[in-house]
Structure 1
Amino acid sequence: MRILSVGAGAVGGFFGARLAQAGQDVSFLVRPARAKALEARGLRVDGQGEELRLIPKLVTAGAPGGDYDLVLLSVKATALHQALADVEPAVGRGTAVVPLLNGVAQLDALVARLGSGAVLGGVAKVVTTLNEEGDILRMAPPAVILTGELDGRPSARVDAIRAVLTGAGIDSPPTADIVAAMWHKWVFISTLVAVTCLMRGTVGEVNAVAGGAALGASLLAEAAAVSAAAGHPVPEAELAFTTTTVTTPGSPLTPSLYRDLVAGAPTEADHVLTDLTVRARALAVATPLLDLAALHLRVHEHRLAAGRTP
């Protein structure tokens, strides 16, 4: 299977490396700065007992290399529209595009640009980051990609993609409703983002003070209410998992959006939090705490736009 990983960052680089290691024909569409780093050091993945070293096949936006069977789109939401322009020449009649972004707004953008026939739903569950050298550090065990047709129907192409992923050691269980799965992941990540960014601390630091655990539970209740109103109630097991995740004492966990925030970098706040609160208003769901977290991040983005240091 010819695969194009759009981005070779912490998520796309990890999954692309796994697929290439398993013998798949994987190309990485990267920006010049990332290409320079990868040419110098190769693509490296370390952590959780894993050590991958790969000389990646790199392509550029101007020459993505023709039609692919599968495109894994794992860029940040802030780069989505440019990425769509870059990848469009690589999408042919038989290409399946799996977006691995949080939220659901990317689906409308993808369908509008590439057509509904090319687009699948996608969820990535992985905890990775880039270190100072640009290598990928794996920080927790999950390595999961969920995918499926947007209308929920079974399809041979989804089965083929899942088989390729599984063969590379990437868990990809059958998913009857991928759009619901995307909403459920959105509830998880928006809760984690709101807890850590609003309080400017790790999960453990928030839970070390009075009221910390209650905040996480309240934010989760708001996010889950939006998902339920949209027709995608979160299963009890997933609610329990998220509750545990955001209320664990001593946990060093932070999402990548929090790390961008404290580094003074642009964030995916509009895609992850603002879009959720806008949908909440349309569904008549009150989300005062999520609104506050979104406002907090909009102030950060306003400072950046004005050229001021956060």
Structure 2
Amino acid sequence: MTRIAVLGPGGVGGVMAARLQRAGHEVTVIASERTAAVIASGGLHYTLPDGSGEASVEARSMLAEPVDVLVVATKAMELLSALQRVPVGLLGGTAVVPLLNGIDHVAFLRAELPGADVVASTISVEATRHRPGVVEQVSGFADVGVSLASDGGQLWAELAEGAGCTVTTVPDDATVLWRKLSFLAPLALLTTSAMASVGEAIASRSDLVRPLVDEAAAAAGTAGVAIDADVIETRLRSLPGGMQSSMLKDALAGRAVELDAIAGPIIGALGRDGARATVQAVSGILAATA
């Protein structure tokens, strides 16, 4: 049995906590005082493609003892404050697995948690937290990418696979991070700039689809990661028309959106002149959410 803590039991974090607990591991969720109290008293209720139930997890507002694996599933802009709930002294040798959007968080965590083994990893899943302690995996897939560049990568790959995820491993950090972002950025920016699900967004903003994909692929190329833009566009167009990106869900709910994490690396890699479609989409999102 592996001791696992999940920092941020929202949609993605809650679903992974449930999956890992069902796989037989000892799971603790770390959340705000209110959310931790709700889960401690009422449990973590989940809906997955193969059924619903209640995961037997411990809930705390602070990590109180060492764990083998710490899964970080906060929003990118909440990462710094969330880390205050995890004493650095408890993480010596712990495999820290951030399932965040973007690129820069891996280097940030390695600087902030020098004694931990930070594993570059991504997850592609549509998950929703309906309310504290109630989560649902909406998509039929939960795809996890893992870099084997750090010692904990193999451990995390085995845990994710044992929890029912489809796991792909790669030898380096850049590949796993940019493979996710090169698909997520066009999806998130397109849907949120149109304030519409993916099918409607593709129809109403067809002029943005290929430029967003090309810019994401070009940005990945600056990091030495080869992305086939044709494959990304085909994948976007094959998504269920009613699918909403997590950024769109946040915008519609009046929550902050992760523009820095998702659009920032592309603009940073190509400059504003080289990322004109991305800049245009960001401007549209800022206007729509002002």
What is the TM-score when the length of structure 2 is the normalising length?
0.90
- Select 2:263's aligned residue among 273, 283, 291: 273
Q: Say whether 1:25 aligns with 2:26.
A: yes
Match for residue 256 of structure 1? 246
> What one-letter code is carried by the residue in structure 2 that aligns with 1:244?
T
Q: CA RMSD in A?
A: 2.3
Following superposition, the deviation at residue 102 of structure 1 comes to 1.1
Instruction: Give the Cα separation in 2 of the matches to 1:165 and 1:188.
Output: 21
Structure 1 residue 40: deviation in Å? 4.6
1:233 aligned residue (223, 226, 242): 226
More displaced, 42-51 or 132-141? 132-141
Larger deviation: 74-83 or 34-43? Answer: 34-43
Q: Are residue 201 (structure 1) and residue 196 (structure 2) matched?
A: yes
How many angstroms apart in 2 are the aligned matches of 1:260 and 1:254?
10
SS in 1 for 2:64: coil
Q: 1:153-302 counterparts in 2 under 5 A?
A: 155=151, 157-209=152-204, 212-234=205-227, 236=228, 239-248=229-238, 251-281=241-271, 286-299=274-287
Partner-residue secondary structure (3-state), 1:163: helix
Does the 8 A contact of 1:207 with 1:250 survive in 2?
no
Mapping for residues 62-77 of structure 1, pairs under 5 Å:
64-77=63-76
Aligned pairs for 1:84-95 (under 5 A) are: 84-89=83-88, 91-95=90-94
C-alpha deviation, 1:214, in angstroms: 4.2
SS in 2 for 1:201: coil
SS in 1 for 2:85: helix
Aligned to 1:53: 54
Deviation at 1:18, TM superposition (A): 0.9
Distance 1:263 1:231 in 2: 36
Partner secondary structure for residue 138 of structure 2: strand
The separation in 2 between residues aligned to 1:186 and 1:25, in whole angstroms, is 31
Secondary structure of the corresponding residue to residue 208 of structure 2: helix
Deviation at 1:39?
3.5
Which residue identity does 1:231 align to in structure 2? G
> Matched residues in 2 for 1:26 and 1:132: separation?
20
**1:34 is the counterpart of 2:24:** no
- 1:31 partner amino acid: S
Identity of aligned residues (%): 24
Q: Deviations over 1:9-38 (max 9, x none)?
A: 111111111111111111100112222332
The secondary structure found in structure 2 opposite 1:97 is strand
What is the CA–CA distance in structure 1 between the aligned matches of 2:99 and 2:22, rounded to whole Å? 20
Task: Describe the superposition over 1:238-292 as per-residue Cα deviations: whole angstroms up to 9, x where unpaired.
Answer: x4453134334860111111111122211111221134312322xx871111011
Supply the distance in 1 between the matched residues of 2:202 and 2:239 (Cα, whole angstroms).
6
* Contact 1:261 1:267 (8 Å CA) reproduced: yes
Question: Aligned residue for 1:137?
Answer: 136
Q: Which moved more, 1:131-140 or 1:22-31?
A: 131-140
Q: 1:231 is paired with a residue of what secondary structure?
A: coil
Unaligned runs of 5+ in 2: none
Distance 1:13 1:217, change over 3 A: same
Q: Equivalents in 1 of 2:141, 2:265: separation in Å?
A: 27
Aligned CA distance change for structure 1 residues 56 and 249 (closer, same or farther; 3 Å): closer
Which residue identity lines up with residue 286 of structure 1 in the other structure? G
Contact 2:23 2:163 in 1 (8 A): yes
SS across alignment from 1:173: strand
Q: Aligned with 2:156: secondary structure?
A: helix
Secondary structure of the structure 1 residue equivalent to 2:196: coil
Paired residue type of 1:53: E
For 2:17, the aligned partner's letter is G
| 1:134/1:161 CA distance change after superposition, 3 Å | closer
For residue 206 of structure 1, report the CA deviation from its aligned partner.
Answer: 2.0
Q: CA deviation at 1:186?
A: 0.7
CA contact (8 A) 1:30 1:58 kept: yes
The code of the aligned residue for 2:35 comes to: R
What is the alpha-carbon distance in structure 2 between the residues aligned to residue 13 and residue 117 of structure 1?
23
What residue ranges of structure 1 are gaps of 5+ in the alignment? Answer: 304-310
